[in-house]
């Protein structure tokens, strides 16, 4: 009988009997990888093309999620000198805005670096660890992980639709 293999991007399947942290982190990593998959193979122009009435683009989604990663993990849990928590609607809108220096490769590299830093920071804290939050009062690491799963999954869905509109590609794999 041939041994079955599971695509490593299907972390949630691999963690199906894991502890809470393994499940949460695998779902977040799965959605992170889907966002990257949706921009891979596109030209800078294709990734920056507006296909919906809003300013949302594939490249803009990656840029926005890079800010989200930095904002919720390092800045909130382990801020370094100069780190500022961005929370206004203007900050969120600006995080989608591309400039002439933004390339698919550069945006993906920055996003992957931000995700790596997030993983390193969150690994230092228990799920029950609580930190102050400017708007919510306080949040636990567990809540932050669930929120980032929601945020990343929502934007991965947007990316899936935008990629389909770009070249017809669909699906997680």
13-167 topology per CATH:
1.20.120
Tokens describing residue 167 = 């070249």
Beta bridge partners of 138: 132
Give the pTM.
0.89
- What pLDDT, in 10s, does the model give residues 135-167? 889 999 999 999 999 999 999 999 999 999 999
Could you tell me the two tokens for 126? 């228990």
* 25-59 residue pLDDT tens: 999 999 999 999 999 999 999 999 999 998 899 99
Q: Tell me the backbone φ, ψ of residue 89, rounded to 5 degrees.
A: -60, -35
**CB-based contact 80:120 (threshold 8 Å):** no
CB 47 within 8 A of CB 39: yes
For 140, the token pair is 């636990």
């Amino acid at each position: 009988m041939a041994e079955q293999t599971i695509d490593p991007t299907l972390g949630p399947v691999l963690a199906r009997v894991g502890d809470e942290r393994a499940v949460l982190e695998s779902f977040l990593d799965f959605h992170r990888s889907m966002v990257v998959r949706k921009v891979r193979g596109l030209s800078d122009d294709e990734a920056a093309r507006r296909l919906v009435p809003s300013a949302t683009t594939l490249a803009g989604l990656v840029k926005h999620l890079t800010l989200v990663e930095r904002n919720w993990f390092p800045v909130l849990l382990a801020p370094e000198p100069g780190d500022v928590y961005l929370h206004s609607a203007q900050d969120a809108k600006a995080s989608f805005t591309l400039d002439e220096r933004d390339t698919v490769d550069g945006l993906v590299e920055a996003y992957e670096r931000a995700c790596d830093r997030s993983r390193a920071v969150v690994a230092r804290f228990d799920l029950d660890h609580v930190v102050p939050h400017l708007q919510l009062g306080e949040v636990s690491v567990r809540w932050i992980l669930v929120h980032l799963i929601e945020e990343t999954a929502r934007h991965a869905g947007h990316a899936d639709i935008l990629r389909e509109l770009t070249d017809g590609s669909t699906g997680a794999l």
